[in-house]
Structure 1
Amino acid sequence: MPRQNGHDVILRPLGNGQARDIIATVTAQKAVPALFEDLKADDWQDRIAAMHRLRSGADGLLELAQPMHRRFQFALFEVVCDRPGHPRLDPERIESAGIVIRRQRGAARLGWLRTGKRIEGWKPLLDSERDPDPVRAEKAHPANAALRGLIAARRGGSETPEETVHTLFTAPPDVCAAVGKTILFAPVPVASSELSDEPPPPIDFLALPPAETTELVDHLSGYFKHRSRAKRLPHAGDALSPEWNVLSSEANADLHAFGLFLHQCASELDLFGSAPSARSLRRLLSRIELPLEVDAAARPTKSIDATAFLRDAAAILLTGEPNAKNLHMPLSWPAIDSEKAEQLTRAALACLSDQHARVSPPVAKFSNDAHQYVVRGFIRVSGHEDCPEKLVWSIESEPFRIAPWWDGDGPPVSISLPDLGKLKKSKPSVSFAMPPEIANLLNGNAKDLSEGKGSTNGPGIAWLCSFSIPYITICAFIVLNIFLSLFDIIFRWMLYIKVCIPIPAPPPSADEGGGG
């Protein structure tokens, strides 16, 4: 066959720049038109250069703003033919183009992958230059269809994960003509509502470094730990009552400590749950007998195992259920030897592992402010009639992290509060549907409510209450300033979190008699 002309191309940062020149930040509200306007200017190179690295952290790492900060980042590329002089590539030969955001973990790269409808989250990429769209790759030129079939058979017919791709657009013809280049651009996504369908990475609380293990064991209640002598329990021999209010700081120290132990068992460790670790801890506690009655020689004549007692005690003392079984507080918690204490604390740590797996929320795409990312662009270029399209990758951008929502340096948001004289014009604009229990609590005696004595007993009538948002905003603003002043005594933060400057009062509007 006659020799065909080569069609190799290069996708590179705009202006034949380096990795740090890929990302440009636009501060204009209409970001895309502003970007095009700068590119069509005679000094476009200087203007684009001024958009690089607008913000970096103390460690010098590039930081990108979120949309709420009113800063917009774009990845900018140019496509040239791999020939002397690097002439621009005809845009008609670009079949498709995109960018991928990859998380950096040392030398490894993680892609945000999905298989079918399932989002797998950040997963290591074995081949950083593989086609991010497996469906398109499978529809490639039929010449290697047999090879692809063998690979699919080797995988057992399982679907190939697909990496999230964001469209890389070709700049309008007039922009490309003004610069004399085939320019591609894409907004860099720095916010996402996507969550991984896979559970977050587990934490094995039994395999933590010794210092962290020590801190966690210290946090556990003393009832789990070694004790050479029996400990007398608070209210020993008395019938349990919800009125004891064991979690209140006003309770005596021993009763409060016992309440924290109950809360730790029921909440932190999920002692009464179905996890294997919880069953293991319950078995250990079941071997601890708590004396309810003793004879003249102080020998137990009646007892209850710790698991059964803690289950019923938690229902009464923590959730306020009535003491229907007439359960009494045992007389003491027995001595715990070192071996049993080690078993209890290790079982409790195992419960923490299961609890973490149960309560940890799904991992969001950009959930960690400390994670570092890179942008990489790619294009698919059409070849000759008998050749498949060619996938061409750019170099990676410099690493960056995403500035947290509270650390933006964009223009502030202004919220206008109404003048007090105009508040009567404000109509209720938000409604709260209150069930009878909450309505009865709020309609009760205010003094009792402030002292925690409010009651939910009363008429079984639900209420729909409407309020004016400006009134709510002013109340919240006044309360905020009161608490800021109080906490400023401790934190000395007022200089950093509140800036007030005087401004001229706005003139009255024409309909109030101030205009003519």
Structure 2
Amino acid sequence: MSPRVQWLTPSPLWNELAAGTDKGPFRSPALLRFATDQFMEDLQALLASAAPQNLRNYIAQPETWQSPAAGLPPLDKSLPAPGGVTVSSQKSKNTVPPPFKFFQPVHSRFYLVCASLVCRMPSLPDHQVKSNQGERTSFVVRRLRPKAGLTGVDLSVFNPLVCDEFAWVTADRPGWAQVAGSGFAEGEENLPLSGFQCGKTSDRRRIFTGLIPASRRQTYVAGREIQLPPKGGPPVPPPEDPRKIDFQRLILDPWVEMVDYFSKLNPLPPLTASDNTAMSMAQGSAFVLIDFAGFLDNNLNAVWNAVNTPALAGSLGVAQRALYNALAATIACLQPVGSRLSLAAAIKTAKSFEQAFEDAVLTTTTPALPVDYSGPVLSDTSDPQLLSLIRRDSSNPLSPRAIQVLVEAALDEVGPSPPATVRVPAKDPENPQGDDWYIVRCAYEQPLCGMNAPPLLSDPSRPFQLASFFDPDAPARSIQVALPVDTSPAALRKYDKNVAFMISDQLSKQMSRVKGLKQLMDGDLADPNGFGLGMICSFSIPIITICAFIVLMIFLILLNIIFWWLPFFRICFPLPTLKAKKS
């Protein structure tokens, strides 16, 4: 690539920014802020006008919904920015300005990166991007982090001596990878730039703009730091085993929830088929045991074969044999009363009744089990061996449970997991506050030039933060929800019933058990009735809207005792002309 090509701020801003003593903004992409959904039309109209230099009025600045601001700080402090708001008039000189953060489109804010690609020659002519030769322009979003060992670093001002750049890598596991060198990180996401002409025919120039994805804030916050393999170096450690995650979320977590719930009951219900609570526990346990069986069959097939045929246990590996031996712990069964099964036998039994559970239909008001199913209950921890499997180390509440350690060791013994076919659940974000700082760099690529033309990246933009959906400084869109004006029966009967609900036969039976609000709160339910037919019911949207509004107000008033939010909830103005009935 010719060394004479460079990125600069968009050409309509050159005269103003070149006159300043700080040339950093002149060499950096500009960040534009628009406040309407027609922001692209507004930009095109501005660039096609006789005064494209008014692009200065859209430079993003720190703002809040109370003090909106945009535009370059004018030399004359009395010059207003768009909307009559002076950028420099942030309350007073002694007031600390708000953080420079980008709000989301739902807040009616749209942000563009804008730059010019020029040749480093007199008059800085535009550099032609030859798309027919594979050349392209794009931009990247990068997160800033203090260098290792540094604390208290101010990342609102870019300083490569104290901060590192992390690129958003869109691989099998999207995340942030530290950038080494001046080019792209391997697998780094490139966002598109679009070309626009600005100015009149005689002095027309080309600029590039791209929409900054401010609405991705939660995705970026949840992104984990990942390690990319250095060129010629050792491979990256494998990602977290999805099989281990599946065991925790499908089997271990529901199991522990049942144990915790059962242990808090006072008094403890008898483990008999005549007790509804015990039957509910047995029903829930059955589904966990069925999932446990499926997990063993899919991921630890040798252990599953030993569960079905104990004679095969001798051929198991050390870790798998340890897991199989742990399944000898016993749990209580509802029938016969006082009987017990080993965990392995309970898993095998539940699996054999899987189809019966899947085909079960609601026939009574109480939980039911398939005929001849013994009803093992995972919430029973009277066997010390079973309790030791699911209990954490009392000295370390974050330690893994014994059953989890055994399963993970067995999985490691059978080898690496196959490629994941489902999305791995999100892990805890590294920075839950989400107050990271980001920069944008524009990029120009000439792939046909090979190694002689690495991607040309611009200087970094001004660092910014991404605001959350519920940021208290965020502007709020004006949204009006119209409720029916005339709510008399004579008026409500005229509305069409145009919302259809499909109600299955089983749901219809369950709904018929509700006799009234008080009876529902007291647990007094009727027997299912009706003909066992599915239904399609049509409802009136205006009446549903009124009900939703009333329910909302009820819950707001009920929860006010906790949050004390009613003084901040609403502002009402009288409308004398809004009458349901004409005089």
Relative to structure 1, the CA distance from residue 340 to residue 200 in structure 2 (aligned partners, 3 Å threshold; closer, same or farther) is same
Residues 102 and 112, structure 1, Cα contact 8 Å, conserved in 2: no
Aligned position for 2:40: 32
User: Among 6, 9, 13, which residue is 1:10 paired with?
Assistant: 6
Report Cα offsets for 1:28-71 as digits up to 9, x if no partner: 3321233355666486365134x333359x99654322222211
Residues 380 and 392, structure 1, Cα contact 8 Å, conserved in 2: yes
Cα distance, 1:74 vs structure 2: 0.6
Q: Which amino acid aligns with 2:295?
A: S
Q: Which amino acid aligns with 2:196?
A: A
* DSSP 3-state at the match of 1:425: coil
Cα distance, 1:234 vs structure 2: 4.3
Cα distance, 1:458 vs structure 2: 3.9
- Is 1:189 aligned with 2:213? yes
- Is 1:235 aligned with 2:270? yes
User: Among 472, 475, 482, which residue is 1:409 paired with?
Assistant: 475
- 1:346-357 counterparts in 2 under 5 A? 346-350=401-405
Aligned position for 1:462: 534
Residues 33 and 111, structure 2, Cα contact 8 Å, conserved in 1: yes
Aligned position for 1:379: 444
User: Among 50, 71, 74, which residue is 2:112 paired with?
Assistant: 74
Q: Which amino acid aligns with 2:9?
A: P
Aligned position for 1:483: 555
Q: Which amino acid aligns with 1:69?
A: H
Residues 103 and 122, structure 1, Cα contact 8 Å, conserved in 2: no
State the TM-score, normalizing by the size of structure 2: 0.56
- Is 1:54 aligned with 2:44? no
Relative to structure 1, the CA distance from residue 398 to residue 289 in structure 2 (aligned partners, 3 Å threshold; closer, same or farther) is same
User: Among 163, 168, 171, which residue is 1:111 paired with?
Assistant: 168
Cα distance, 1:475 vs structure 2: 0.5
Cα distance, 1:359 vs structure 2: 8.6
Report Cα offsets for 1:305-332 as digits up to 9, x if no partner: 35546876998999632463466999x9
Bigger share in strand: 1
User: Among 177, 190, 198, which residue is 1:124 paired with?
Assistant: 177
Cα distance, 1:502 vs structure 2: 1.0
Name the CA distance, whole Å, in 2 between partners of 1:224 and 1:485: 33
Relative to structure 1, the CA distance from residue 375 to residue 36 in structure 2 (aligned partners, 3 Å threshold; closer, same or farther) is same
Name the CA distance, whole Å, in 2 between partners of 1:204 and 1:327: 28
Name the CA distance, whole Å, in 2 between partners of 1:403 and 1:202: 33
Unaligned runs of 5+ in 2: 11-16, 18-22, 66-95, 147-163, 227-237, 246-254, 305-321, 393-400, 412-420
Name the CA distance, whole Å, in 1 between partners of 2:125 and 2:499: 57
Residue identity over aligned pairs, in percent, reads 19
Aligned position for 1:147: none
Residues 430 and 467, structure 1, Cα contact 8 Å, conserved in 2: yes
Residues 118 and 127, structure 2, Cα contact 8 Å, conserved in 1: no
Number of matched pairs:
428
Q: Which amino acid aligns with 2:107?
A: H
Report Cα offsets for 1:79-127 as digits up to 9, x if no partner: 33324x6x3332545643222234556525233435xxxx653363665
Aligned position for 1:298: none
User: Among 178, 181, 193, which residue is 1:168 paired with?
Assistant: 193
Unaligned runs of 5+ in 1: 133-160, 207-216, 226-231, 249-258, 294-300
Report Cα offsets for 1:199-249 as digits up to 9, x if no partner: 99569999xxxxxxxxxx998947999xxxxxx97426x4x24x523599x
* DSSP 3-state at the match of 1:320: coil
Aligned position for 1:156: none
Name the CA distance, whole Å, in 2 between partners of 1:75 and 1:493: 39
Q: Which amino acid aligns with 2:341?
A: I
- Is 1:320 aligned with 2:368? yes
- 1:247-396 counterparts in 2 under 5 A? 259=281, 271-275=292-296, 283-288=325-330, 303-305=340-342, 308=345, 320-322=368-370, 324-325=372-373, 334=382, 336=384, 341=388, 345=392, 346-350=401-405, 360-361=424-425, 370=434, 373-380=438-445, 391-396=455-460
Relative to structure 1, the CA distance from residue 350 to residue 284 in structure 2 (aligned partners, 3 Å threshold; closer, same or farther) is same
The Cα RMSD (Å) is 5.7
Relative to structure 1, the CA distance from residue 386 to residue 456 in structure 2 (aligned partners, 3 Å threshold; closer, same or farther) is closer
Aligned position for 1:436: 505
Name the CA distance, whole Å, in 2 between partners of 1:437 and 1:291: 28
Relative to structure 1, the CA distance from residue 309 to residue 268 in structure 2 (aligned partners, 3 Å threshold; closer, same or farther) is closer
* DSSP 3-state at the match of 2:199: helix
